[in-house]
Structure formats: C-alpha cells, structure tokens
Amino acid sequence: MVTNTMITRSPNIPRLENGDHLSRPEFERRYSNMPELKKAELIEGVVYMASPLRINQHGKPHFNAIAWLGAYASMTPGCQGGDNATVVLDSNNEPQPDILLRVEREGQSIVNEEGYVVGAPELVVEISASTVSLDMQDKLQVYCRHQVQEYLVWRVEDRAIDWFRLRAGQFEKLEADEEGIIRSEVYPGLWLDVEALLSGNLGRVLQVLQTGIATEEHQEFVQVLSQK
C-alpha cells in the first residue's frame, strides 16, 4: 500500500519480506517504504508477496475475468469494480484481491479518506495458479469471517472455478445449472458460463452475461441501487 507521502525509501525502515509476521500498521509502514513493490498482502498476520506472473497462468485469465465483471459493472450503476485494490479488514488482514466488486452506497464496505477499501466487498475474485493453497484455505477463512458474500476462486492449473456463497456464516459452493451457468445470488444478472471462461471463449462469456443483464431481476437491482 503506497501512500502519497512516500517519495524516497528510508533506509531506517526494514524491508518487507515474504513470510514476515507483522501487525497491520507495521505492514503498512514497510509496504509504503517500498514504492517499487506492486503487490503484498497481510493474511492472518503473515506477509505474502506475489511472484512474477505468467501470462497463461495468470495474465490472460485475470484479463478475461475483468472483462466479464467490467461489463457487468458498466451496466449496473452503483457497483464499483476494482483490480488489485487494497482491502483493510482487521488488524491482521489486509489483502489485495485480484478483482473485487462492491456496492458503492450502503454496501458492506466504504472507501476511507486515503482511498482504500475498508470492510468486506460483496464479491471477491482470486486467480489462483501458484497461490491455490493460500486462496482456498487462509484467505477463504478470512473472507468468510469478514462476511464477503461471494468468493470466486479460478484454479487455473486445475481448470476449475469454485464460486462460494456465504450462508449462515459458512461458504457454500454454488453449482452450475444444466447449461453450465452459475448465477450470482448477490448480483442479479451476473451469470457465468463456466466452460466458456475456462476455455477462453470470452465472446460466449459476454453473451451469457448479456442474457443475465436483460432479466427483470437485474433491472430491479439497478433500480434499488439508484435509490440508495
């Protein structure tokens, strides 16, 4: 998390290192002192720093998922999407999810004076290749505890997508229908053709999404958001 006050690196502040056990203030102090660092997360008090990202294992899936969610947000005023935005959850957890979608007014999260998201977004997406263990264990528990309403993990190497819905304090997996489509329960009209996304058929992904956006449920959701 780099603040506007950071211009040059202070040699008196220790470097942020993968695996450090830190409080959130100390994590932020060290992160802010390393403007060259693009992504670091604090999960259950432990620092995780991203490895170099490969295009087929992360770059392209990330791009396609953003295209899908960006199209939805563009047709759903009142929803805000974010790419690798810092999310402040508690004293031990400050993740930087690959993608998030939040309700801007009267949602679960706010944007503080420094421009960071504070509180749980309604939807979090993680693109997992080398981070499957973290995303499906510690992060899953953190997001569940902080009441992220839906959590989608794209396990790229396993060619699988797990989409979880928070129910009674627990994440339950949403299942695709007979046509292979998963429908969000939090964002009406947010439909996903799982096989199309896995195979890189972005045209089909957006076609199915447009069908969801054309439903009465989505129109009613937009109206509710506009009244907030």
User: 194 and 100 in one domain?
Assistant: yes
Is the pLDDT at 4 greater than 90? The verdict is no
Phi, psi of 227 (to 5 degrees): -90, -10
User: 117 and 213 in one domain?
Assistant: yes
User: 200 and 103 in one domain?
Assistant: yes
Is the pLDDT at 43 greater than 80? The verdict is yes
CA angle 50, 52, 54 (to 5 degrees): 120
pLDDT in tens, 169-188: 999 999 999 999 999 999 99
User: 181 and 127 in one domain?
Assistant: yes
Identify the sign of the CA torsion 11, 17, 23, 27: positive
Looking at residue 185, which CATH number applies to its domain? 3.90.1570.10
- Sorting pLDDT into bands at 50, 70 and 90, what band is 130? confident
User: 94 and 36 in one domain?
Assistant: no
User: 106 and 23 in one domain?
Assistant: no
Pairwise pLDDT comparison (20 vs 8), residue with the higher score: 20
User: 137 and 74 in one domain?
Assistant: yes
Helix (H) / strand (E) containing 79: strand 79-83
Number of independent structural domains in the chain = 2
Of the candidates 106, 108, 139, 141, the residue with the CA atom closest to the CA atom of residue 122: 108
User: 158 and 127 in one domain?
Assistant: yes
CA contacts within 13 A on the Cβ side of 225: 20
What pLDDT is stored for residue 8 in this prediction? Answer: 59
Of the candidates 195, 193, 175, 205, the residue with the CA atom closest to the CA atom of residue 63: 205
Parent domain of 85? 55-227
What pLDDT is stored for residue 204 in this prediction? Answer: 98
